[in-house]
Amino acid sequence: MKKIGLGGGCHWCTEAVFQSLRGVFKVDQGFIASHGRYNTFSEAIIVHFSGSQITQRKLIEIHLETHNSTSNHSMRDKYRSAIYSFDLGQKVQVDKILSELQNNNNQKIITQSLLFSEFKASEEKFKNYYIKGRKKPFCKTYIPPKLAHVEANHKEHYQTPPK
């Protein structure tokens, strides 16, 4: 079992996207902090996955495609576009993957590769937000288009999120 931290848009959306992937066994929703300039908490998830079922590269590709990874908007403190590595070896891999993906992208990817420092879990009532509240207006508006993108573009890894 491996893990990686991902931050982008709202962690309710990010959680739902990664709960829909084969090879992902657990998604912890909450807030992650890094070091130095990025030591404040930002909405994020920790993805626990089987590297033999889904690669770290595939997780990063899906992450970049399902949040605005090319826009440095005013809410980036709350919604930091980041990939959080749990050790230096993983960070080297993430940096390499981001560089390769940038070479294939016309727009500048602003997603940062950061070292994980600390995690603070969401309140229980917000965990599994989409699974528990598919009919809520937020869930109906923002999450299905992301899931449809994953299903259409990564169907070999997509599974309907649990109910």
CATH of residue 79's domain is 3.30.1060.10
Question: Is residue 159, in this structure, part of any structural domain at all?
Answer: no
pLDDT of residue 151: 97
Question: Is residue 85, in this structure, part of any structural domain at all?
Answer: yes
pLDDT at 43 over 80: yes
The number of distinct structural domains making up the chain is 1
pLDDT of residue 24: 97
Question: Is residue 102, in this structure, part of any structural domain at all?
Answer: yes
3-class state of residue 78 by DSSP: coil
What is the residue-wise DSSP string for 51-77? Answer: TTTS-HHHHHHHHHHTTTTT---TTTT
For residue 31, give the nearest of 17, 49, 10 by alpha carbon: 10
**108 vs 95: CA distance, rounded Å:** 15
CA distances to 31, 78, 152 from 139, rounded to whole Å, are 20, 19, 19
Asked if 48 and 38 touch (Cβ cutoff 8 Å), the reply is no
pLDDT of residue 152: 97
pLDDT at 46 over 80: yes
Question: Helices in the chain by DSSP H: which ranges?
Answer: 11-19, 56-65, 88-103, 129-132, 137-153
Question: Is residue 162, in this structure, part of any structural domain at all?
Answer: no
What is the residue-wise DSSP string for 35-51? Answer: SGGG-S-EEEEEEEE-T
In single-letter form, the type of residue at position 55 comes to: T
Q: Domain containing 61: what range?
A: 2-152
What is the tens place of the pLDDT at every residue in 50-74?
Answer: 999 999 999 999 999 999 999 887 7
- Bin 64: left if φ > 0, else alpha if -120 < ψ < 50, else beta: alpha
Question: Is residue 160, in this structure, part of any structural domain at all?
Answer: no
Question: Is residue 161, in this structure, part of any structural domain at all?
Answer: no
